[in-house]
Amino acid sequence: MLYEGVIQDLIEEFGRLPGIGPKSAQRLAFHVLQTDPAEVARLAAALTEVKRKVRFCEICGNVAEQEQCAICRDPRRDLSIICVVEEPKDVMAIERTREFRGRYHVLGGAIDPMAGVGPDELRIRELMTRLSSTDVVEIIIATDPNLEGEATATYLARLLKPMGLRVTRLASGLPVGGDLEYADEVTLGRAFEGRRLLDV
């Protein structure tokens, strides 16, 4: 033990958080020591409150403080389109674009046989139940553009197409503001595949 009692405890607890190494944990603990007690109390309270209050939306699986999340409760959202994502933070990333006015379905991950995650571990059954009771016409699959996300997208597309739904996938291509010479081959290949006619 390098520090006395409670300081060492705090350093260790900070060190358990993802992306916080021993040096950062120490820096954070010493910051707390020098911070206004009211601010530290607010952080401690926010931690406790999140565990006490946050649950998952019974419709889409997004984080919520009520039985349904703010998006599912919003009557202005288009009920005919569902965007399928892996995690609640993906919902927020898409909301920030203000491009999508439908509703979401959070899977809780992606199919990853190496990690023992199959379709049964994801909220796919809940998606099916949802589809049988609402008038959905399009499913946008917005899983991550990596191996697991692609596998999940293919699995879902095969499952949903026979139901007569329009199943789409977010476009892959060059990131806006990026540099063509730094794009990896797969992304550049996808950008060629998905090229569009310029109307000028």
Residues that bind its own copies (CB under 8 A): 2-7, 9-10, 12-14, 16-19, 24, 26-33, 37, 39-51, 53-54, 63-65, 69-70, 87-89, 92, 95-96
Rounded to 5°, the CA angle 71-152-156 comes to 75
The smaller minimum CB distance to its own copies, of residues 123 and 169, is found at 123
Supply the minimum distance, in Å, between the C-beta of residue 122 and its own copies: 15
Supply the minimum distance, in Å, between the C-beta of residue 47 and its own copies: 4
Supply the minimum distance, in Å, between the C-beta of residue 97 and its own copies: 12
The smaller minimum CB distance to its own copies, of residues 74 and 193, is found at 74
* Of 145, 142, 158, 152, residue with least CA distance to 105: 142
Sole residue written with tokens 């409150």: 49
The smaller minimum CB distance to its own copies, of residues 63 and 191, is found at 63
Sole residue written with tokens 């476009």: 171
Asked if residue 90 lies in contact with residue 145, where contact means CB atoms within 8 angstroms, the answer is no
Supply the minimum distance, in Å, between the C-beta of residue 53 and its own copies: 5
Residue 64 CB neighbours (<10 A): 21
Residue 105 CB neighbours (<10 A): 26
The smaller minimum CB distance to its own copies, of residues 10 and 140, is found at 10
